[in-house]
Amino acid sequence: MAAGALRLSPNSTLEIRTSEPEVLEVEATYEPGGGPPPNHLHPAQDEHFEILEGSMQVITGGDERTLETGDEIDIPRGTAHQMWNGGAVPAKVRWETRPRGRTEDFFRAVDGVMPDDGGMPDLGPMLELISAYEDTFVLVTD
């Protein structure tokens, strides 16, 4: 893991490139063979993703597709989605969140509950964290 990288899951990290009130820009690295994160939405932020290397799977509106190097996608606030690297090679993604809101704080909190052994965090602390950041990240169950 690169110095300054924050862990979002056992196979994904990100580095903050720009953090200003109007935009948070990160570069995320997704190792191969990952699975989808929980279906979720962001109630007050829009996201923009550009695939820099590799490919990513994305589900929005119930439709799944593969994004390749050079592809971009916008996820408007309130839109349920999932994104992961189901491929065989690492993927790098430039990811913007507008406005930043508490997204950087959320990323740092997730990194703080990730275990040192590279596994998944305990469910209790993750649910507490998600509850504390409901203005930033909302699980979608339908």
What's the full length of the chain, in residues?
142
CB within 8 A of 41, min separation 6: which ones? 77, 78, 79, 80, 81, 138, 140
Tens digit of each residue's pLDDT, the chain (142 residues): 455 799 998 899 999 999 999 999 999 999 998 888 899 999 999 999 999 999 999 999 889 999 999 999 999 999 999 999 999 999 999 999 999 999 999 999 999 999 888 778 888 888 899 999 999 999 998 7
pLDDT at residue number 33: 83
Domains in the chain: boundaries: 6-139
pLDDT at residue number 1: 45
At 126 the three-state DSSP class reads helix
Within 10 angstroms of residue 69's Cβ, the number of other Cβ atoms is 13
Half-sphere exposure of 142 (CA within 13 A, CB side): 3
Q: Compute and round to an integer the Cα radius of gyration of the chain.
A: 14
CATH code of domain 6-139: 2.60.120.10
What does the alpha-carbon distance between residue 129 and residue 88 come to, in Å, rounded to a whole number? Answer: 31
> Pairing state of beta strands 12-20 and 6-9?
antiparallel
> Pairing state of beta strands 40-41 and 91-98?
unpaired
Rounded to two decimals, what is the model's pTM?
0.91
